[in-house]
Amino acid sequence: MCGIVGYAGYRQAYSILLDSLKRLEYRGYDSAGVAIVGSGVTVQKDKGYISHLEETAEPTPGTVGIAHTRWATHGPPSKENAHPHLDCSGEIALIHNGIIENHMELRARLKASGHVFRSETDTEVAVHLIESYASDGLEGAVRRALQDIRGSYAFAVIHAKEPDKVVAARNESPLVVGLGTDENFLASDVPALLKHTNRVVYVMDREIVVLNREGARITDYEGRPVAREPQRITWTLEDAEKGGFEHFMLKEIFEEPQAIHDTLLGRVAEPELNSFFREGYTNVKLLACGTSYHAALVGKYILEELARVPTTAELASEYRYSRAPADRPLVVLLSQSGETADTLGACREANRRGCKTFAITNIIGSSLSREAQRTMLTRAGLEIGVAATKTFVAQLTALYLLAIRIGLERGTLGVEEANRLKEELRRLPRAVQAVLNEAPYIEGLAHEYAKTRDVYFIGRHLGYPIAMEGALKLKEISYIHAEAYAAGEMKHGPLALVGAETPVIAIATRDHTYEKMLSNIREVDARGAPILAIGTEGDKDLGKVVDNVIYTPAVPPLFAPVPVVVALQLLAYHVARIRGCSIDKPRNLAKSVTVE
């Protein structure tokens, strides 16, 4: 996730662009850059915050320009990798939000025809492609380049030879036009526009915009004009930053289909990573803290199932004190922030013990990505709410990909089976969306839980770590005491606590543990506990034994943790909201825990 802005009007573009860009800093802030077109194109960019660019760059005169705040996905944060990127002639500048899936193939083709690359980004191919079609004029060149590009993007481009305009395009990444008087704007999101206008036009997938001082002309990729009425935005700036949602946490839950989709993008062939997984270990150890640890627990089941490799999941804070065993596992470290001190410490210890270390993190360039030998990036975008939500489902997505890859390397999965699994993965965003559509129903149920003091979550197999995650979400944002148990363990102790005052939330999706879960549900029912089950759509039996059911779409059992956890996140959110809690910043907690 990055932020892009564009301006064409009568005022000096530079300060308008930087000011608007600051409103998009929530989309990423590892580097920033601006390009102004006047008598040529001037680019100023650097690694670091937008404020750093402001302090170090010289305001460039000109009334048309583009600017970018980066959230690195390909190539670490650096001046070279910061946007805007220039073509070989230095006359075309381009900014991009998204991922170009076929960038490796395009880079090879462009290099072979003499283009010189200056960055490691996927983005740079786009500006060289446009250069290669420049004889068609800027709009025509963009149109032709888009035919070669696969992936998700919002681009904005300027050209020294056509200094009155910005050309932009979108596919699967947000882009909105702001209409002013004698000036017009472009941005990834409405907050960047609100200071100047509240009249906006949302650009849709596979549309091109030509923005100048007089207006914004939108066409589809085939060149047909698009007529769309502007909308008037009535949000305040703060509302707009949350995309109209009441809290960042809710916004981030609703971004989960996109987070899964983006994490899957462009992950087909990374030969260097494949060889990393080929040999040199007999077992896998997953290390993490908090929510990431729950992803690790799910990961254990996934890896054992798909790659048939013995796997353990351990808390990073505990691993460091264990004795070094004789074996050298492949150590996978999961951390949203990549800065959690306990996880970093575990990574250093695993390196010291001579293990292969592999990080799964949402932050490229984070300490963990530097300390681990290899890294896979989850592409959930910036998460602002302290409670991890979209980064958790992105971690699960990365673990499925990892297990498929290790399975292929170890020969436990054939190519056909791997492709079938990837197809299932690509369906997950839709399954998540189906749960999100149930948000009003879940909100209704939340009223029953808002007044309670204790809640128990139960699950078996893959449902157990998801029960743990459901309990963690509820306790951290609503301050209700919540515990999770493996359903089979209830009779060994916790059942003593269960009664009419202690609701139980049971993960009871249709898998090989389902019958046993029904027995465990009956056990708590017999003690008078009100029961909410998370079940599978079409299950006619479950509703007969519990008080309420949240149905989730039928997906293969291995993938069920994803839709199920979304239901639990929504429940926790609404309970906390009804209780009036500080949802995005729960008491005593921080987004990144850099102390041990």
| Residue 335 binds ligand F6R, judged by CB under 6 A | yes
Q: Near ligand F6R by CB under 6 A, which window of 34-42, 277-285, 333-341, 538-546?
A: 333-341
> Catalytic site residue 289?
no
Q: How far is the CB of 346 from ligand F6R (least distance, A)?
A: 10
The span from the CA of 85 to the CA of 68, in Å, is 10
Options 66, 260, 388, 542; binder of ligand F6R; rule CB under 6 A: 388
> Catalytic site residue 591?
yes
As beta bridge partners, residue 358 has: 332, 374
- Per-residue binder mask for ligand F6R (CB under 6 A), 22-61, x = binder: ----------------------------------------
- Per-residue binder mask for ligand F6R (CB under 6 A), 249-288, x = binder: ----------------------------------------
DSSP secondary structure string for all residues of 478-534: H--EEEEEEGGGGGGTGGGG-STTS-EEEEE-SSTTHHHHHHHHHHHHHTT--EEEE
Site for ligand F6R in 283-312 (CB under 6 A): 289-292
- Per-residue binder mask for ligand F6R (CB under 6 A), 436-475, x = binder: ------------------------------------x---
Q: Near ligand F6R by CB under 6 A, which window of 19-27, 43-51, 337-345, 460-468?
A: 337-345
- For residue 3, give the 3-state DSSP assignment: strand
Options 317, 337, 375, 509; binder of ligand F6R; rule CB under 6 A: 337
The answer for residues whose C-beta is within 8 angstroms of residue 303's C-beta and 6 or more apart is 284, 286, 309, 311, 399, 402, 403, 406
Q: How far is the CB of 288 from ligand F6R (least distance, A)?
A: 6
| Residue 314 binds ligand F6R, judged by CB under 6 A | no
Q: Near ligand F6R by CB under 6 A, which window of 122-130, 334-342, 485-493, 516-524?
A: 334-342
Q: Which C-beta is closer to ligand F6R: that of 57 or that of 583?
A: 583
Under rule CB under 6 A, how many of the chain's residues touch ligand F6R? 15
Q: How far is the CB of 294 from ligand F6R (least distance, A)?
A: 8
Nearest to 374 by CA among 418, 322, 332, 343: 332
| Residue 20 binds ligand F6R, judged by CB under 6 A | no
Instruction: Write out the H or E segment, with its range, that includes residue 342.
Output: helix 341-352
Hey, what are 222's tokens? 């085939």
Sheet holding 374-377, edge to edge: 311-315, 284-288, 330-335, 356-361, 374-377
| Residue 593 binds ligand F6R, judged by CB under 6 A | yes
Q: How far is the CB of 142 from ligand F6R (least distance, A)?
A: 38
Sheet holding 85-86, edge to edge: 85-86, 92-100, 151-159, 166-171, 207-211, 216-220
Phi and psi at residue 112, to the nearest 5°? -65, -30
Q: Which C-beta is closer to ligand F6R: that of 123 or that of 263?
A: 263
Nearest to 285 by CA among 267, 299, 272, 271: 299
The span from the CA of 539 to the CA of 536, in Å, is 6
Maximal C-alpha separation, the chain: 80
| Residue 476 binds ligand F6R, judged by CB under 6 A | yes
Q: How far is the CB of 247 from ligand F6R (least distance, A)?
A: 14
Q: Which C-beta is closer to ligand F6R: that of 20 or that of 291?
A: 291
CA angle 192, 197, 200 (to 5 degrees): 80
Are the C-beta atoms of 85 and 119 separated by less than 8 Å? Answer: yes
Q: How far is the CB of 103 from ligand F6R (least distance, A)?
A: 28
- Per-residue binder mask for ligand F6R (CB under 6 A), 211-240, x = binder: ------------------------------
Are the C-beta atoms of 146 and 172 separated by less than 8 Å? Answer: no
Site for ligand F6R in 338-357 (CB under 6 A): 340, 343
Q: Which C-beta is closer to ligand F6R: that of 72 or that of 95?
A: 72
Site for ligand F6R in 104-123 (CB under 6 A): none
| Residue 387 binds ligand F6R, judged by CB under 6 A | yes
How many other CB atoms are found less than 10 A from the CB of residue 230?
A: 15
DSSP 18: H
Are the C-beta atoms of 552 and 435 separated by less than 8 Å? Answer: yes
Instruction: Pick the catalytic residue from 475, 516, 585, 591.
Output: 591
Q: Which C-beta is closer to ligand F6R: that of 200 or that of 287?
A: 287
Q: Which C-beta is closer to ligand F6R: that of 409 or that of 469?
A: 469
Q: Which C-beta is closer to ligand F6R: that of 343 or that of 520?
A: 343
Using CB atoms, what's the residue nearest to ligand F6R?
A: 290
Q: Which C-beta is closer to ligand F6R: that of 252 or that of 539?
A: 252
Q: Which C-beta is closer to ligand F6R: that of 177 or that of 289?
A: 289
Instruction: Pick the catalytic residue from 2, 289, 347, 581.
Output: 2
Q: Which C-beta is closer to ligand F6R: that of 309 or that of 388?
A: 388
The span from the CA of 17 to the CA of 166, in Å, is 13
Q: How far is the CB of 340 from ligand F6R (least distance, A)?
A: 3
Hey, what are 299's tokens? 């990961």
DSSP 199: E
Instruction: Write out the H or E segment, with its range, that includes residue 440.
Output: helix 439-450
How many other CB atoms are found less than 10 A from the CB of residue 593?
A: 16
Are the C-beta atoms of 9 and 33 separated by less than 8 Å? Answer: no
What amino acid positions are annotated as catalytic residues? 2, 591
Binding footprint of ligand F6R on the chain (CB under 6 A): 289-292, 335-337, 340, 343, 387-388, 472, 476, 592-593
